[in-house]
């Protein structure tokens, strides 16, 4: 009996800052997965070096994003380019991801989970769209920062935030009118639930980090590429650029969650694997374009080219996703 061989995808990210979702270096996280053999990926990188040359040993997104290499960028993403149909990109607006985690605490089933609770989406959209205008930029930023630290498994940076501190701010914000004020009033009523959630994050070593989008992105990549396989191929194997988050324990947990759809995950040096370099390039392009869109600087040339690459499960306040 023939044993089906795993379908191997290569992955890399752009904008990853662990569980720091606000106040960091990027407002967007992007994770690209590539289904391409080593020879094809090497040909892509070789052609990029001709069209958008760099002396760097490892080809990265910033090389092709330079304005002088615009033609190479459009070639790469275009319908006649070499990567269409071979790359999928999971994109997350970090602030919306955080607001979704906050409003997820309002649900009866509020245990730490990988993605966002779909039942929490309406409240998340309301808070995301109205929070800054309702509370003012300063208090809105303070609220996001407070919950970002509160829901991190490990605070890091020597910064500690208690539930009591966070609820002093919620007490102020719950007097506001409108949808954002409604969310604050609902949060005020579930303080015990928030304390329970926080305690579990700190004491249960087997709980996934509540805020880091990397692991949910990998799970989604495996799910996306593995769905609908009907040609005798086996489960999905992942080759990924090195990440400290991807410990043996986390990999084992992902395999358990995916119920046999993930054959394994192997960490590699991206400089030695052109497939991972292709993933880095596509993730970096998507992250920058999505960030520009969030900040009112959409690129009308890139937007239609990027749409076919975006995973529908991306985390975006507009249900149509980025580049809609």
Tokens of 93: 């607006």
- What is the structure's pLDDT at 158? 54
Torsion sign, CA atoms 276, 278, 279, 284: positive
Residues 186 and 102 in one domain: yes
Distance CA 304, CA 311 (A): 14
Residues 174 and 241 in one domain: no
Buried b (16+ CB within 10 A) or exposed e, 246-265: beeebbebbbebbeebbbeb
- What is the structure's pLDDT at 1? 37
Please give the residue range of the domain that contains residue 187.
94-203
pTM over 0.75: yes
**236 - beta bridge partners?**
7, 262
Domain boundary among 178, 203, 228: 203
Phi, psi of 127 (to 5 degrees): -65, -40
Residues 72 and 34 in one domain: yes
Query: Residue 321: inside a domain, yes or no?
Result: no
Query: Residue 315: inside a domain, yes or no?
Result: no
DSSP assignment of 245-295: T--HHHHHHHHHHTTTSEEEEEEE-GGG-HHHHHHHHHHHHHHHHHHHHHT
Query: Which residues lie below 8 Å from residue 220, measured CB to CB, with a gap of 6+?
Result: 90, 115, 311, 313
Tokens of 223: 């799910």
Residues 148 and 161 in one domain: yes
Residues 231 and 305 in one domain: yes
- What is the structure's pLDDT at 203? 85
Query: Residue 296: inside a domain, yes or no?
Result: yes
Distance CA 238, CA 275 (A): 11
- What is the structure's pLDDT at 232? 47
Considering its fold, how many domains does the chain have in total?
2
Query: Residue 2: inside a domain, yes or no?
Result: no
Query: pLDDT tens digits for the chain (324 residues)?
Result: 345 678 999 999 999 999 999 999 999 999 999 999 999 999 999 999 999 999 999 999 999 999 999 999 999 999 999 999 999 999 999 999 999 999 999 988 776 677 788 889 999 999 999 999 999 999 999 999 999 999 886 655 555 788 999 999 999 999 999 999 999 999 999 999 999 988 888 888 777 778 999 999 999 999 999 875 555 456 999 999 999 889 998 899 899 889 889 999 999 999 999 999 999 999 999 999 999 999 999 999 999 999 999 999 999 999 999 998
Neighbour-count burial of 83, counting CB atoms closer than 10 A to its CB (0-12 exposed, 13-18 middle, 19+ buried) = buried
Residues 75 and 100 in one domain: no
Phi, psi of 265 (to 5 degrees): -140, 125
Domain boundary among 137, 169, 203: 203
Residues 284 and 193 in one domain: no
Residues 66 and 120 in one domain: no
Residues 304 and 215 in one domain: yes
Residues 217 and 88 in one domain: yes
Query: Residue 174: inside a domain, yes or no?
Result: yes
Query: Residue 184: inside a domain, yes or no?
Result: yes
Residues 284 and 298 in one domain: yes
| Residue 245: CATH number of its domain | 3.30.420
Domain boundary among 184, 203, 222: 203
Query: Residue 73: inside a domain, yes or no?
Result: yes
Q: Which residue has the tokens 């999505």?
A: 290
Query: Residue 320: inside a domain, yes or no?
Result: no
Q: Whose CA is closest to 220, among 76, 130, 321? A: 321
């Amino acid at each position: 009996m023939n044993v089906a061989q795993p379908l191997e995808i290569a992955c890399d990210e752009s904008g990853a800052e662990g569980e720091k979702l606000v106040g960091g270096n990027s407002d967007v996280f992007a994770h690209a997965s590539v289904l391409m053999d080593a020879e094809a990926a090497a040909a892509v990188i070789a052609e990029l070096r001709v069209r958008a040359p760099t002396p760097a040993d490892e080809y990265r997104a910033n090389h092709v994003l330079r304005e002088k290499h615009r033609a190479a960028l459009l070639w790469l993403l275009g319908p006649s380019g070499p990567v269409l149909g071979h790359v999928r990109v999971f994109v997350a607006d970090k602030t919306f991801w955080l607001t979704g985690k906050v409003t997820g605490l309002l649900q009866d089933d509020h245990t730490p989970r990988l993605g966002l609770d779909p039942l929490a989406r309406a409240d998340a959209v309301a808070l995301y769209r109205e929070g800054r205008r309702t509370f003012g930029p300063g208090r809105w930023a303070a609220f996001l920062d407070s919950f970002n630290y509160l829901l991190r498994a490990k605070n890091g940076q020597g910064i500690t935030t208690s539930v009591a501190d966070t609820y002093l701010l919620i007490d102020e914000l719950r007097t506001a009118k409108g949808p954002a004020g409604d969310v604050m009033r609902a949060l005020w009523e579930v303080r015990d639930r928030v304390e329970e959630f926080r305690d579990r994050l700190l004491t249960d070593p087997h709980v996934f980090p509540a805020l880091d989008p990397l692991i949910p992105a990998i799970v989604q990549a495996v799910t996306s590429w593995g769905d609908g396989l009907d040609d005798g191929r086996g489960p999905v194997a992942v080759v990924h650029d090195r990440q400290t988050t991807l410990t043996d324990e986390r990999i084992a947990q992902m395999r358990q969650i995916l119920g046999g759809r993930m054959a394994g995950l192997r960490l590699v040096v991206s400089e030695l694997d052109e497939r991972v370099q292709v993933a880095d390039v596509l993730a970096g392009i998507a992250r920058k374009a999505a960030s520009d869109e969030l900040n009112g600087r959409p690129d009308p040339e890139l937007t239609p080219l990027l749409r076919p690459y975006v995973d529908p499960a991306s985390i975006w306040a507009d249900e149509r996703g980025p580049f809609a």
